[in-house]
Structure 1
Amino acid sequence: MLWPFTLIGGGAGYAIASIPGAMLGALLGQALDRRLHVQSLAELRERLAGRKVPRDDELIFILLGRVAKTDGRVVDGHIQQARVEMRRLDLSEPATRRAIAAFNRGKDGRDNLRVHLMRLKNQPHAAEGLLRACWRMAWADGRASRGERELIVSWGKWLGWTAEKVEALSATEDEQRSRSPASSGGEYQEALRLLGVRSDAEPAQIKRAYRRLLSRHHPDKVAGSGASPVQVRDATEKTRDLHHAYAVVRERRGFR
């Protein structure tokens, strides 16, 4: 990782006072990099161009906006899918407003997304969540176009994934989409069963059950307890099922 102010400070220090100056300049530059959270020269250029570094809950919607606009036109299915993702993440009202702004920001296509995605290269679970959401957006209009596929695969490579692994996520998301439409009564009952709540449960009770299960099965928590790769993968799938179940129940019951 090239810390820009560290490099600039080291170079300037060397020019002024040789090696001792370089060491002092690099230390001062590193302190500035950490304070400003600047991790690369490309990110510094983004800052200087006036592009605000997105929060984690904004980055996903910037990506979704970019996917939706890939073929030149955002259709109603894309808008509906963005709303589904907002419900899936259980966003607060301020976070929802930020997500809408981020989605629109993604559509303009001016962000250097490589800068932001490279920061998640060592966070496999966060990376998988982003890629899955992008595939769901790609399939929102009933098909994942060649342009959308190439875009998501390129993002996966920046995250450290192989093209084959990224494409495999597309297949699983399409299979789930075709297998379980949100309007299905059977799916609603299955979602209630997975969350462990009754059909007459209050929204607050459903939300508590969802969060309790999410905390218990989150892959990061399972991985931290020394679980095997298979157990972590199972936890990832369980977490995805919980997200989907909660989204189904919220849509059917009409609560935030």
Structure 2
Amino acid sequence: MLWPSTVIGAGAGFAIASIPGALLGALLGQAMDRRLQLHSWAHLRERLGGRPALRDDEVLFVLLGRLAKCDGRVADGHIQQARQEMQRLEMNEPARRRAIAAFNRGKAGKDRLGVYLRRVRQQPHAAEGMLRACWRMVWADGRAGRRERELLLDWGQQLGWSTSRVQALALEYEPRRHNLTSATLGYQDALHLLGVEAHAEPGQIKQAYRRLLSRHHPDKLVGSGASPSQVREATERTRELHQAYSIVRKRQGF
């Protein structure tokens, strides 16, 4: 990774005071890189253009905004889906305001996202969550266009996912499949799946959901020698837990 201010500082310092100047300039430049969160020359150009660096919780909504605007018009379904993602992440009001600003920024399509995606790549669980949210946004208007698919495949590659794995994830959010699951999973079924009673406190329900999610998540099988069928089963179980929790939350209003 090339830190722009570090390189500039070292070069300027060397021109002024040879090697000692280069060392001092590099140290000062590195401090500036860290303070301004500059990770690449593209990132520096972005900052010089007046766009602040994205926080980790803003990157997702920039991606969602770009997908929503991909076909030229942001539909009501896209707006609603963005709101659902904020709710899913249990964002407080300041975080929601940042997410809305990031979503609008993403619609402009001017950000170079590679440096941010490579950073998320170091967190496999976060990378999967990001791709899942993106596919939900793609299907928010009931169809997945060619450009949207191309973006998802490109982002998936930068997050360390294979093309086939990204495409397989899309099937989980295809409207026909999603609606079928929603129709067959009722409130009592959702409670049973989460292992909680109808009178359980919201905190108890959240704890049960997170415990089950941690136990069954397919990431747990990475490097364990699990078969493809076991990974698919874990993926399906995780999707059912997401759906069950969503149903219970909606019914109980928390």
TM-score interval, smaller chain: 0.7 to 0.9
Q: Which stretches in structure 2 are left out of the alignment for 5+ residues? A: none
Paired residues of 1:219 and 1:236 also in contact (CA < 8 A): yes
| 1:9–1:65 Cα change, 3 Å | same
SS at match of 2:143: coil
* In 2, Cα distance between equivalents of 1:24 and 1:236: 52
Give the alignment's Cα RMSD to 1 decimal: 3.0
Single out whichever of 198-207 and 126-135 deviates more from structure 2.
198-207
**Equivalences for residues 57-206 of structure 1 within 5 A:** 57-174=57-174, 176-181=177-182, 184=183, 186-206=185-205
Could you tell me the percent identity over the aligned residues? 64
Instruction: Quote the offset at 1:43 in angstroms.
Output: 1.3
SS at match of 1:72: coil
SS at match of 1:173: coil
The size of the alignment, in residue pairs, is 250
Paired residues of 1:4 and 1:40 also in contact (CA < 8 A): yes
Instruction: Quote the offset at 1:114 in angstroms.
Output: 2.5
SS at match of 2:169: helix
* In 2, Cα distance between equivalents of 1:172 and 1:52: 34
Asked which structure has the greater RCO (Cα within 8 Å, sep 6+), the reply is 1
Instruction: Quote the offset at 1:73 in angstroms.
Output: 1.4
| 1:105–1:204 Cα change, 3 Å | same
| Matching of residue 33 in structure 1 with residue 29 in structure 2 | no
Please name the residue that 2:224 is paired with: 228
When normalised by structure 2's length, the TM-score is: 0.83
Paired residues of 1:87 and 1:247 also in contact (CA < 8 A): no
Please name the residue that 1:246 is paired with: 245
- What is the identity, as a one-letter code, of the residue corresponding to 1:116? Y
Paired residues of 2:65 and 2:102 also in contact (CA < 8 A): yes
SS at match of 2:51: coil
Paired residues of 2:37 and 2:53 also in contact (CA < 8 A): no
| 1:81–1:192 Cα change, 3 Å | same
* In 1, Cα distance between equivalents of 2:129 and 2:30: 31
Paired residues of 1:88 and 1:244 also in contact (CA < 8 A): no
* In 1, Cα distance between equivalents of 2:235 and 2:114: 25
SS at match of 1:52: coil
* In 2, Cα distance between equivalents of 1:236 and 1:185: 18
Deviations 1:90-130 (A, max 9, x none): 22233223222322222222322223223223222211211
Q: Which stretches in structure 1 are left out of the alignment for 5+ residues? A: none
